[in-house]
Each structure stands twice: as structure tokens, then as C-alpha cells.
Amino acid sequence: MSETAQPVGGPLLTRTYNVLVALGALGVALIIWRFFVGLGGSTALSDGYPLGLWITLDVVTGTALACGGYALALVVYIFNKGKYHPLVRPAILTSALGYSMAGLSVAIDLGRPWNMWKIPLYVRNWNLNSALLEVALCIMAYVFVLWIELSPALLSKYQFAKRILPILDKALIWVIALGMLLPTMHQSSLGSLMLLAGPRLHPLWNTPLLPLLFLVCCLSMGYAAVVFEATFSSKAFGRKLETPMLITLQKAAAWVGFAFVAIRFLDLLFRGRLPLMLTLDLYGIVFWVETILFLVPVFFVLSSKTPSLGTIFRGAMCVALAGALYRFDTYLVAFDPGPGWHYFPSVSELFISIGLISIELAVFVALVKRFPILAGFRSES
Amino acid sequence: MDTSRRAFFKGVATAATLSVIPAVAEAREKIVPRADAVGLLYDTTRCVGCKACTVACKKANDLPADTDGYGDGLYDSPEGLNEYTKTVIQLAKSDNETSFVKKQCMHCVDPACVGACMLGAMYKGDFGIVSYDASKCVGCRYCEVACPFGVPKFEWSKKAPKIVKCELCRTRLAKGQKPACTDVCPRDAVIYGTRAELLQDARQRIAANPGKYVQKIYGENELGGTQVLYLSHVPFEDLGFRFSETESVPHVQQSVQHGIYKGFAAPVALYALLGAVMFRNRRQEKEEKNDE
């Protein structure tokens, strides 16, 4: 196994790849159409449910799954576990793509995107009380930081970069530190954001601890995402799997998920809201689905010291689903705008989201094949 | 390695203490109505449901007719507030009784929409009127998520959409006129004045006819207080007022936010800590390499 990253090589336009490109093209066509017909004509959004699939899936859930870079950076740079270093580059790439797509989704979702540039520049108008402002500024900055973190991988094969890269290397720890600070800030603020839904958010979700819960949630999802990405790369590119590392990362995902459940239950206990979870309505049920999905991986971890790859994968899947569901519920299901409002995404909303995810995957595959991102694979050359 | 881990945990514990505890302990100061706050007083017992206010509002604000409701596309027949309608009269059922109820922006003392808005497109303007400035609006619709009364509406049908909501006819007020809805009401069911005057008036009406009204002025304290006040002969929940808590919506969120970001100290501390731990790890690595 080689420790240093190398391009995977091989032909780009495989059959699967063409499907991704086609779905991406459909998505782009629909995005252009959305700007011609407006949001009313292209989405199922309403004054009752002003935030829909794009925000909930691509931004709120997508960025949490893109926290692999953040979660792994904590392991490698803070807990100083250098052996995980080969997993960092692909995780950073996944994060950079996930966050870039989230940014693009926001631009599509905004009613007046031509005013977007004012967010970072109208400093005098900044409303520092707005959790959304914090999220917007942090995500903009973080996209930038992620691509800088990734730039050595992308630039190393070009001559002009030979001078810049050593300088960048020295400064990089401060960029990486920023790459850990920014997600801590905006992932928690994604939770604070829904504090403003206030009494319209179901009491099982509405708690002053929303920022902490969202932060813990994104860490567990980040570890799960690294497990996914590593498994995917091994299946797709014949990369050698570092099973012991994946076991540890899956353990991290499971125990952070457990911490999430523990914090949530203690909070509900202290505020006398525990009985609410026994109500057998939609809210009670989705609450338990979230909780059980978070706890199943802990059971996996406790039941076997050397789990099979399948078990590791399923554990990661549970954590990712649990976190995704928690975020969907906080933004859509547990949000009650009052009688008479309904929301289910329109076909074009769905295909724009699918298109964006396809583009994300396609760019990932292309970059991995042409640039030194992955380490430890059996090279085809 | 272990020392750096310990240092990190210590740092995290400090950061957590810095952020969470003050958030819980130091709630933000309660916002009180300003002295010159103006608003409306609506009285269900006086309203006959003629909808003259809806028509006058549309005229004054240059809003198009909403023909989507009943009437086969012939009548302006809004069923609720929407992108074409800043005020509306609805019929509410309450046991054996019915009541009309007028809906428009409540002009909260501590508005959630203003707390939500990134660049202050939604702002508390002169006389505490919750006003909108489209030039700073990116169309994120977070104000709609935040408003507990479901007031701000988005122009879904437009390619350059804005937020639509009652701004208490602030352009008319500037010309010395009253809000259009109060100008045309034949029964003075909705009147305009300073919040203090209106509260006094409302209290007098209840005192003069205690049997006629629910013994409460909605908006005096609800959700931190509003500048639009309501008197009713049926329970307020039946009029569509879902919430009766007195804490304003932004109160909790801003207490938490201010707790975490007070003086921006916690993020700076965390950044310094992360950088320091990494710097130290890297130096240790170099030393280990040199030793070999």
C-alpha cells in the first residue's frame, strides 16, 4: 500500500459516469428554468413552508454530511492521530464539494440572489442577532478555506505552483484551524436558527440546546460520511480498505451519536418534557425513529470487537440517516406553521437536488482520477 | 500526545463553560415598547365585516386584486393575508358564536422577523413600525419562518419577488394621514393612535362593559407585546391567535446567541486553542523525527 496520494487514473466516461452527467445536465436545465418562471411556478414552497427541500436537504443535511473533513481534522490535527492522514484529502474534497453545492443551492433558493453580494460587504448593515447571517458568512468563508486546504493536491502537478506551495504549507495550519473553527460556529448556528421558529417548533425539538445538538449531530454524521466515502472509494477504485481505521471511525460516529441522544434526553428531563415522547402522534414516532437510529450503531459497536465491513457500513448508514432525519424534522416535520399548510417537494425541486448531488459525485470521481487525492489504492497503471 | 489531548479537553471544557452557562444565566434584557410607539386597536364587537379596510388598504398600497378565491375570478376575494393582501377580514367560529377578525402585521415590540433578517431589510422604523426595505432583502424568507403570526408574505408569482406586509401606511403617516384601514372603517372597529392611548382606551372599554369582553387586551403582553392590540368577545384562540406566552420569540434565541458570541471571545479563544494545539503537535513530530 502506498502512503502518498496518487491519481487513480483510468477512463473518465464510464457508463455510470454518463448517467451522473445526464442527471446533472437535467438539474442545470431545471435551474435555468426556475429563474425564468420564479419560485412560485417551479417549487411547492408556500408562505407556510417557505423553506423546503433545497434548504433542508442540500444545505442543512448536506453540509452536515460534508463535515467529514471537519470531524477527521479533529482526529488528525488535534488528537494527533497521524495514521488517519491518508483519509484527510478525500474527506476535505467531499467537504469542499458538499459545501460548494450547498452554496449553489442557496443561490437557487433565494428570491433575490442578485443581492447576495451585499451579505459579506454591507458590514454596517449586519444584524449580529441573526443566526442566518452567521451561517451565511461562515459557510462562504468555509468554502474558501476548504478549497485552500485542498489546493496542494490540485496544484502540485503544475509548474507555477512549485513556489507557492511551500509558503502555503507553512500557513496551512492556521487555515486548517480556521477550517475547524468555522464549522463549529455555523453548524451550531444552523441549530440556533430554528430557535426563532419559537412556539411554532414542536417542544421535543425546540430547546435552547439546539446549537449544541446540531454541533454534536454534525460530528457524528461527519464520521459516518468518512466511512461511506472510504467504502465507496474501495468499491469504485479498488482502493485497499483500512478496516481497523474504519472500525474506529464508526465507533466515533456511534459514540458521538450516543452523546447526542444523552444530551437530548437529559435536556428533556430537566425541562419536564419527557412525557411528550410517549405521545403516539407523528412527532412521538419520528422522535423515536431518530433516537433508535442513533442507538443501533452503539449496539453494533458493543456486540462485536471485529465487525464485518457490512456491519461498519450499516452502522454508518444508521448514524447518517438519524442525523439527516433529525435535521429534516427540525426544519420541516416539527415546524407547524398552522392549519391549512402542506408541503411536499415538486418534481423540479427533486430533480434539481438530484442533479446537484450527481454533479457533486461526478466532480469527485473526476478529481480523484486526475489528481493525487486518494492514497493506498492499487494503481491501474 | 496525551498532554495535548488533555489540553484540548480542558480547552473544550472552558469554551463550553464560556458559551453555554452565560447563555442560560444571563438572559437578554427584555425589550419594552418605545414611548412614541403607534399602532392599531381592533374591537371585534364593533366590526360588521364590511371589508372596507381591505379595499382601502389595497388602494393605498397599490396592491392587485386577489381573484384566486371564490367568485369565479371576478371578485377581489382574499381568504387570508397573501402576496396581494396586507390586511384581511376573516370570519372566526367560536362555539355558538361567530366573530370577525382583522389580520395584518402586529408590529411586535420585539419582532422575530427583525431578529431574523440578515441585513436589516426588515427593521423597526420610526414609531416602532416594523418596516421593509427591499434593497437589502435577498429573499431568504427566514422572516416568514420566524414570525409567530404568519404575517410576512413572499411574492411567489414574481421573478423579482419582495416581502409583502403591512407597514402601518408609514408613507401616509408621513403626510399627516391616518392608516387607510382606520380612515375608512364605518364603525371605528379599528382605530389608530399611540400604543399608550390605545391601551388606555381598551381598558376603559372593558371597564365600561365588563360582560361584553374577554378580560384581556391581546397584544398588551403576548409574545413580548405588540403595537396592534385586540379586544374580543370570543376567546382569542378562536380568532386564530395561537400563542399566549408573554416571552418574545427572539428572547431565547438572542440570549443563546449573545451568550456564545459575547464580544466574539469564545470563537477567538477556540481558534487560538486549535492553532496552538496543532502548532505543538507539529513541533513534537519534528522533534521525534530529529531524534530518530
- CA angle in degrees (0–180, nearest 5) for B52-B54-B56: 65
**Residues of chain A neighbouring B136 (CB-CB closer than 8 A):** 115, 118, 122, 125
Looking at residue B125, what DSSP letter applies? Answer: -
**Residues of chain A neighbouring B150 (CB-CB closer than 8 A):** 47-48, 337-338
Pairing of strands B228-231, B38-43: parallel
C-beta separation of A229 from A90 below 8 A: yes
Q: What is the pLDDT of residues B29-86, one digit of tens each?
A: 889 999 999 999 999 999 999 999 999 999 999 999 888 777 777 788 888 999 999 9
Q: What is the pLDDT of residues A40-97, one digit of tens each?
A: 999 999 999 999 999 999 999 999 999 999 999 999 988 888 888 888 999 999 999 9
Sign of torsion over alpha carbons A258, A263, A269, A274: negative
**Which of B43, B47, B39 has the alpha carbon at shortest distance from B205?**
B43
Burial class (CB in 10 A: 0-12, 13-18, 19+), A43: buried
Mean of pLDDT values over B147-171: 96
Q: Say what the pLDDT of residue B183 is.
A: 95
Cβ within 8 Å, pair B120-A211: no
Cβ within 8 Å, pair B146-A198: yes
**Residues of chain B neighbouring A174 (CB-CB closer than 8 A):** 275
A324 grid coordinates: 439527516
A215 grid coordinates: 454541533
Q: What is the pLDDT of residues B245-278, one digit of tens each?
A: 999 999 988 888 888 887 788 889 999 998 888 8
A299 grid coordinates: 449496539
C-beta separation of A246 from A228 below 8 A: no
The neighbour count for residue A248, using CB atoms within 10 Å, is 16
The alpha helices in B28-97, defined as continuous H runs, are: 52-61
Distance from the Cα of A80 to chain B's closest Cα (Å) equals 7
Q: What is the DSSP string of A319-341?
A: HHHHHHHHHHIIIIISB---TT-
> Residue A188: pLDDT above 90?
yes
**Which of A362, A352, A300 has the alpha carbon at shortest distance from A18?**
A362
Cβ within 8 Å, pair B138-A111: yes
d(CA A229, CA A242): 12
Cα–Cα distances in Å, from B52 out to A353, B79, B187? 45, 15, 11
d(CA B125, CA B113): 13
Residue A288, CA atoms < 13 Å, CB-side half-sphere = 11
Cβ within 8 Å, pair B281-A77: yes
pTM of model > 0.95 = no
Instruction: Tell me whether B141 touches chain A (CB under 8 Å).
Output: yes
Residue whose C-alpha cell reads 467537504 in the numeric block: A95
ipTM of the complex: 0.91
Residue B21, CA atoms < 13 Å, CB-side half-sphere = 6
> Residue B25: pLDDT above 70?
no
C-beta separation of B36 from B192 below 8 A: no
Name the pLDDT band for B283 (thresholds 50, 70, 90). Answer: confident
Sheet strands (E) in chain A: 5-6, 374-375
> Residue A280: pLDDT above 90?
no
Secondary structure, 3-state, A156-182? CCCCCHHHHHHHHHHHHHHHHHHHHHH
Instruction: Tell me whether A284 touches chain B (CB under 8 Å).
Output: no
List of residues 6+ apart from A61 with CB closer than 8 A: A323, A324, A327, A328
> What percent helix, strand, coil does chain A show, rounded to 5?
75, 0, 25
Looking at residue B159, what DSSP letter applies? Answer: S
Residue whose C-alpha cell reads 362555539 in the numeric block: B95
d(CA A96, CA A277): 37
At B16, which helix (H) or strand (E)? helix B2-25
